[in-house]
Amino acid sequence: MKTVYVLNGPNLNALGNREPGIYGGRTLSGIESDCRTTAAELGFEVDFRQTNHEGLLVDWLHEASERDVIGVVLNAGAYTHTSIALHDAIRTIQPIPVIEVHLSNVHAREAFRQQSLISPVAAGVIFGLGPLGYVLGLRALAARP
Ligand code: DQA
């Protein structure tokens, strides 16, 4: 079966309680179950993970490449805006496509959120659509040739 990784970065474990006016009320396990439902429909096996540690995200991207996954949906949280290491990791695992996802509309927020170090190396970017963004990310991977 085709495997996809759905990787989540810092503070996303707190979804549900964390600034619900910005991120909504859905928990990360709710988002995981949305992803599992969509993955089952698409015939994907989904490996869904969260960490608060930047280096672990790098390790998981390398692991995705070693496991020959067909793509990654990545919400890197705040590391999106700071991490050259994640930028480099995404380049390192090319041609595996990485879809960058954000729950919130980062371009309608603080200036420091309006730069992504990941977008230039992502296969696509989805933001501002809440949990639906993850589902659309999986569908985007399924639609790739
Ligand atoms: C986020 C946006 C980031 O700016 C923020 O640091 C997050 C969540 C989002 O999903 O909207 O942690 O990636």
Structural tokens at position 15 = 């979804």
How far does residue 23's CA lie from ligand 1's centre (Å)? 8
Structural tokens at position 89 = 């990791």
pLDDT at 54: 98
Of 23, 79, 87, 134, the active-site residue reads 23
* Whether the Cβ atoms of residue 74 and residue 96 lie closer than 8 Å to each other: no
Ligand 1 contacts CB of residue 103 (under 6 A): yes
Domain residue ranges in the chain: 2-143
pTM over 0.95, yes/no: yes
Ligand 1 contacts CB of residue 116 (under 6 A): no
Structural tokens at position 104 = 């919130």
Ligand 1 atom, smallest distance to 127 CA = 11
For 34-53, the pLDDT digits (tens) are 999 999 999 999 999 999 99
We find that the CATH architecture of domain 2-143 is 3-Layer(aba) Sandwich (3.40)
pLDDT at 1: 86
Mean pLDDT by 10 residues, the chain (145 residues): 97 97 97 98 97 98 96 98 98 98 98 98 98 98 93
How far does residue 47's CA lie from ligand 1's centre (Å)? 20
